[in-house]
Chains A and B, each alone.
Chain A
Amino acid sequence: MDQKESVRDITPWDGTLSSSDFFSAACAFSEKWKRFNAFVPPWLWVPSRKHHLLSSHKEEGYLSLEGMCLIKSSEEQESCRSQTWKEESSISQEEEAVDNATLVQSSCDEVNHYDFHIVYSPSYRVPVLYFRSYHSDGQPLPFGEIEKDLPDHSAKIRSESKWTFITQEEHPYLNRPWYKLHPCGTSEWMKLLFHGDTALNKNGFVIEHYLVSWFSVIGQVVGLKIPLGMLETLSC
């Protein structure tokens, strides 16, 4: 174990995480998210089905944020067009106390629902964002409609970077088609985010802040924002 630690200290960090580091990073991320996002649902850790009985490996699983409703402002107000995410259960309660500039749909039927999962990839050794979208009746959205939901800068990010693209693949645990942001470039830009500073690899700093940094980039592609408070925890 000692030998491993000293090797870690001197080898330049390659932008990747081990599976158990991912679990630690996920715990740190979801705890911070809760702290800074009082009005948004928390990310929940879902242990992989086959491991639910075996305590020593409950670390295998993924982070889940489900039932997010995407509400877009009216087309007429192009200048202040924005996206607002609401939790499914809170929509009906909020219908009354509504600010018309941000919430147009008065009925849940026209709202698109999104589920997000952050799943570890053992091949690429990085987290991967999976998502799916469906109408209130459960019908999945065709990709063309999802693209309309994505923020304007998402298309820009995706076209400019050959590393960031959306593909449809089977969810590693759920045997269903989901969309995902391909992980092949993740380690490269994660390295850049931490300025390749090997000193940061000590004392678990990287693990603590990995997902916040990762999400600050990935979230932009799907329009999920990180509150400023969370980003500020990166510079300490």
Chain B
Amino acid sequence: MSGAATVSSSEAHKLVWEGSVPLLIHLHDSEVTTLPPPPPALVLAPRLGYLPLLISQLKPYFSTTLPPGVDTLWFEYRGLPLKWYIPTGVLFDLLCVEPERPWNLTVHFRGYPSNLLLPCEGEDSVKWSFINSLKEAAYVTKGNCKNVMNMSQSDQVELWRSVLNGNLESYQRVSSKLKLGTFEDEYTENISAVSTASQQNSGEADAAAQVKSGRIPVRLYVWTVTEDFDDLESAPQIDNWDKISYINRPVEIQKEDGKYFSLNDAIKSLLPEYFPGSSFDNLGDASTKQSVGDEGENTCDPDSSSLPLENAEIKLVRIQGIEPCLEIPFSWVVNNLMNPEYFLHICVCLKVSEANALQ
């Protein structure tokens, strides 16, 4: 996506906050007790929001037809129960490789699959999960989550409300107090110089304080293919969460002289097993490996050491519904495309050999 640098920060934030996914939501057959069955509900879901929060919009469509019982809302896409704590936009980018508009989902109000999905008791559960992620992001960035723990009650309420209602102004007002900062490096200063002029919010300038630890909160969702696909329609369907590798690991900013740290660099640094040739390694002191010792203690295949390591190929990267050019400075991507809980969610498709595919 060329021209990213010409979009100012405030414009980018606005686009991200206004982003939404049109959903066509069908009530599951087993829960339809009237004839004719109710038509599906067409709902515009904010990308930055979460599916369970749609209950107030959905209930009126289906309440008259539901069987008796207590509502336990859950969604599925082609038989795959959806993890409610993943933002809606991320679910769409990940599971709908060829974007379907509207996105056809099935909703259930009964029979919650509690062996598969975490329990969700409505808005409170979603809010707790959001705040918990925010604390985690704070810990990653600052080494502690005191700023979140010490938020006043009214600030916490306002922060959550701003996410619920998609109110960017209100969000920026409260979140700037957290001083979670933005990622700055000398290469983004030229880009930000263009945008600072258009930012009226002094909170932004305040928040551009240094990121102490140099760690960026990232959630990576990786799926693999063993063959090239020419168009998105022929990409394989993800019908099982085991086919997705969820990597919740911070990116450690690494600088090389004369080169900026790109999105490509960041992704490869999180996947050293697929990009062994890469100069960045996020798994810590890789050189201080100790031998496992007692063979009986691990389940490693003794023949594994003879398999050659290979570079995988990045086939697709999606962030906030866009497929950014991989050479964009990672700092720009983080500052402009992260979610309100300060995590950057990245969906990646890798092409690998059969032996290394995620089954």
Contact = CB atoms under 8 A, between A and B. Distances in A.
A119 B282 CA distance: 17
Contacts of B358: 50
Per DSSP, are chain B's interface residues mostly helix, strand or loop, or mixed? loop
Interface in B243-302: 245-246, 248-250, 272-273, 276, 283-290, 292-294, 297-301
Nearest to A46: B299
A19 B287 CA distance: 12
B266 to A, nearest CB: 14
Interface residues of B, number: 49
Contact of A184 (B117, B139, B273, B293): B139
Interface string A128-147: 00000000000010000000
A45 B298 contact: yes
A159 B299 CA distance: 38
Instruction: For chain A, give the interface size range.
Output: 35 or more
B193 interface: no
B299 A60 contact: no
B300 A58 contact: yes
A177 B119 contact: yes
Interface string B297-325: 11111001101010000000000000000
B118 A170 contact: yes
Contacts of B309: 54, 56
B145 interface: yes
B208 to A, nearest CB: 23
B351 interface: no
B241 interface: yes
B284 A21 contact: yes
Contacts of B248: 122-123, 172
Contacts of A44: 297-299
Nearest to B252: A122
B47 interface: no
A167 B307 CA distance: 40
B145 A184 contact: yes
Interface string B170-182: 0000000000000
Given A21-B285, A140-B115, A177-B117, A123 B140 contact: yes
Contacts of A124: 136, 139
Interface in A68-116: none
Interface of A: 1, 4, 14, 18-21, 23-24, 27, 30-31, 42, 44-47, 50-61, 122-124, 140, 167-170, 172, 175-177, 184
Given A56-B276, A177-B117, 4 more contacts: A21-B288, A56-B273, A59-B283, A140-B115
18 contacts: A20-B283, A23-B289, A24-B290, A42-B297, A44-B298, A44-B299, A52-B304, A54-B273, A55-B305, A59-B283, A140-B114, A167-B132, A170-B83, A172-B246, A175-B116, A175-B241, A177-B114, A177-B118
Interface of B: 83, 85, 114-119, 132, 135-136, 139-140, 143, 145, 217, 241-242, 245-246, 248-250, 272-273, 276, 283-290, 292-294, 297-301, 304-305, 307, 309, 355-356, 358
